Amino acid sequence: MNHHSTEILVIGGGVTGSGVFFDLCQRGFKTTLVERGALSNATSGRFHGLLHSGGRYAVKDPTAAEECAGENTILRKIIPHCIEDTGGFFVNTPADPADFPDRWIAAAHRAGIPAEEISVAEALRREPLLTPHARRVFWAPDGSVETWEACKTLTEAGKQLGGTVKIYHEVTQLLKNGNRVSGARVKNVLTGEEMTIAADMVVNAAGAWGGRLAALAGCDVTVYAGKGTMVAMNFRMVNTVINRCGPPNDGDIIVPVGSVAVVGTTSVRVPNPDNYPIEDWEIEAMLAQGEVVVPSFRKFRALRAWAGVRPLYQDTTAGENLREVTRGHALLDHSTRDGVDGFVTITGGKWTTYRMMAEHTADLVCRKLGTERPCRTADTILSPPEKRRYFRLGDRLETVETTAKGEQIICECELVTRGQIEAELAHTPGNIINDLRRDLRVGMGPCQGGFCTYRTAAILHREKHLSAAETDKSLVDFLNERWKGIKPVLAGQQLRQMLLDEGIYFGLLGLDKLPAELSGAATARLGEIETEGYFEIASDE
């Protein structure tokens, strides 16, 4: 077994863990981060991509609203390349309480949110597909974030300062010396190799899995897993984040992300953060609520649905309605709380407040280790705006038509070229096509990988010198994840697309003829999905 030593071990590679890792590295600590999947693989990579202005929480959770408002301003300065300044509308419709806008604008101003009312006519000028029945509209500084690039930026900056990042490494045991946590045993989920990591301090940033991790140290931490389901539509019908100006509810936000628009979310308590199926009622709720603010919403194609689990923490027992649980964060010192030293947990909070959460966590680590090292993350610009990585289809079209003219396009939906894929593979460990999806958006368009996955697999085979079996497994794993997200929204044009994809991969390429250990993973083929009723919808369109 391999052995590794560090001063601080951070467990969890979402945006919170990545932020803690960078902050500690910047303060001069020898720091190691471990994550059981890819960076931003779980909660941070499975949300609607909203950079909160704080407006959503202004009335009900003013502390969370103030935190989001302050951090929104800081993040725009330090990671501008990951943020699209869409702005946000808070729209009061006939379906919302008529008295809510006055309460909302007063609460927003108390929280420090620079919100202002605009006329409905001006809102319609900016967003022509917005409902003309809106009663009042307010502007607030919401935005859209590129979460995968943000986590990569933070970890790369930490590595340049001497930190170590181990993705696809799962913690199987927390090591203890008496009442002190002294490190962890981890397993490489790709190779099966195991190693121990000795540490002076361990930070639990495992999000919705934080309670499980704390239990390995003998600490009782209840983190509620709040499932939120979202649907991606095939068209960016708005360029501004659209919020309902009413009490938070299901499906009351539409976020323009790249070439699509995402509507979300539900809030459902689930017992297992690894198993949370999407229900039919959630899809119907998202589509119906989308139409309240964009009346033509259902005329666009629903590409896929997905869900993520929010880590929600409170000291008292929570009821079934998790919207009553604060979106603020909790920082737990297990030495004073549970008599277990060398171990702290950071949980809850929002993507927008990750930097502040990391600062508070690193401050606690410093106090426990008896040292004073100031935080500098609020003033450290990690990349200039011109290095932007948030996705614009128009930018790629311009590149394809100018500097990359004549280069082979592998993913037509998202305009990903062979050169981009080859360049990414040069420094991408492993053989996981999903990693390319996160970095380049391969397979994220209307065909959901139907045409580009086999091409990408062929490039992967050549560039990584894979065997046929290894290449087939990469292809099957990716398609299975894509098809899993399509199943809940199969209707109309997307059903036709799925039939075509099945024809390509099962009819032409014989994916179902692979050895059982490979083809067995492709459980989402259309023949195994109940399609009664879908064909009627398809013919109607």
Q: What is the pLDDT of residues 12-39, one digit of tens each?
A: 999 999 999 999 999 999 999 999 999 9
Q: What is the pLDDT of residue 324?
A: 47
Q: What is the pLDDT of residue 182?
A: 97
Q: Residues 521-529: what's their mean pLDDT?
A: 43
Contact between 437 and 304 under an 8 Å Cβ cutoff? The reply is: no
Q: How far apart are CA 395 and CA 402, in angstroms?
A: 11
Confidence of residue 387 (pLDDT cuts 50, 70, 90): low
Vertex 386 angle, CA 384 and 390, to 5°? 95
Helix axes of 433-440 and 468-486: crossing angle, nearest 10 degrees: 50
Pairing type for strands 343-348 and 194-204 reads parallel
Contacts of 401 (CB under 8 A, 6+ apart): none
pLDDT in tens, 168-224: 999 999 999 999 999 999 999 989 999 999 999 999 999 999 999 999 999 999 888
Q: What is the pLDDT of residue 391?
A: 62
DSSP structure string for 27-65: TT--EEEEESSSTT-SGGGSS--EE--SGGGTTT-HHHH
Contact between 224 and 325 under an 8 Å Cβ cutoff? The reply is: yes
Structure tokens at 354: 């990750």
Q: How far apart are CA 39 and CA 151, in angstroms?
A: 6
Stretch among 3-12, 418-427, 519-528 having the lowest mean pLDDT: 519-528
Q: How far apart are CA 502 and CA 479, in angstroms?
A: 10
H or E element in which residue 458 lies? helix 453-463
Question: Peptide bond before 73: cis, by omega within 30 degrees of 0?
Answer: no
Of the CA atoms within 13 Å of residue 318, those in its CB half-sphere come to 21
**pLDDT for 525 beyond 60:** no
Above pLDDT 70, what percent of the chain? 91
Q: Report the Cα 348 to chain-centroid distance in Å.
A: 15
**pLDDT for 487 beyond 90:** no
Q: How far apart are CA 246 and CA 56, in angstroms?
A: 9
Helix axes of 354-368 and 15-26: crossing angle, nearest 10 degrees: 50
Q: What is the pLDDT of residue 289?
A: 95
Q: How far apart are CA 9 and CA 203, in angstroms?
A: 6
Q: What is the pLDDT of residue 30?
A: 98
Residue 164, φ and ψ in degrees, nearest 5: -125, 135
Q: What is the pLDDT of residue 517?
A: 63
Pairing type for strands 409-411 and 416-417 reads antiparallel
Confidence of residue 386 (pLDDT cuts 50, 70, 90): low
Q: How far is CA 309 from CA 198, 206, 442, 539, in A?
A: 30, 12, 24, 36
Q: Residues 523-531: what's their mean pLDDT?
A: 41
Confidence of residue 326 (pLDDT cuts 50, 70, 90): low
Structure tokens at 463: 């560039």
Residue 441, φ and ψ in degrees, nearest 5: 75, 25
Q: How far apart are CA 415 and CA 426, in angstroms?
A: 20
Residue type, 409: I
Confidence of residue 532 (pLDDT cuts 50, 70, 90): very low
* Domains, in order of start, for the chain: 2-43+148-222+326-379 (3.50.50.60), 86-143+224-318 (3.30.9.10), 392-540 (no CATH)
Q: Report the Cα 522 to chain-centroid distance in Å.
A: 24
pLDDT in tens, 50-92: 999 999 999 999 999 999 999 999 999 999 999 999 999 999 9
**Taking Cα atoms as reference points, which of 273, 256, 356 lies closest to residue 43?**
273
- Find where tokens 């209307």 sit: 446
**pLDDT for 541 beyond 80:** no
Instruction: Read off the DSSP letter of residue 190.
Output: T
Q: Residues 121-140: what's their mean pLDDT?
A: 98
**pLDDT for 104 beyond 90:** yes
DSSP structure string for 73-84: HHHHHH-GGGEE
Q: What is the pLDDT of residue 534?
A: 33
Q: How far apart are CA 478 and CA 134, in angstroms?
A: 42
Beta bridge partners of 514: none
Contact between 157 and 382 under an 8 Å Cβ cutoff? The reply is: yes
Confidence of residue 290 (pLDDT cuts 50, 70, 90): very high
**pLDDT for 422 beyond 60:** yes
pLDDT in tens, 453-466: 999 999 999 999 99
- Which of 197-201, 222-226, 472-476, 492-496 holds the top average pLDDT? 197-201
**Taking Cα atoms as reference points, which of 204, 246, 206, 255 lies closest to residue 228?**
255
Mean of pLDDT over the chain? 89
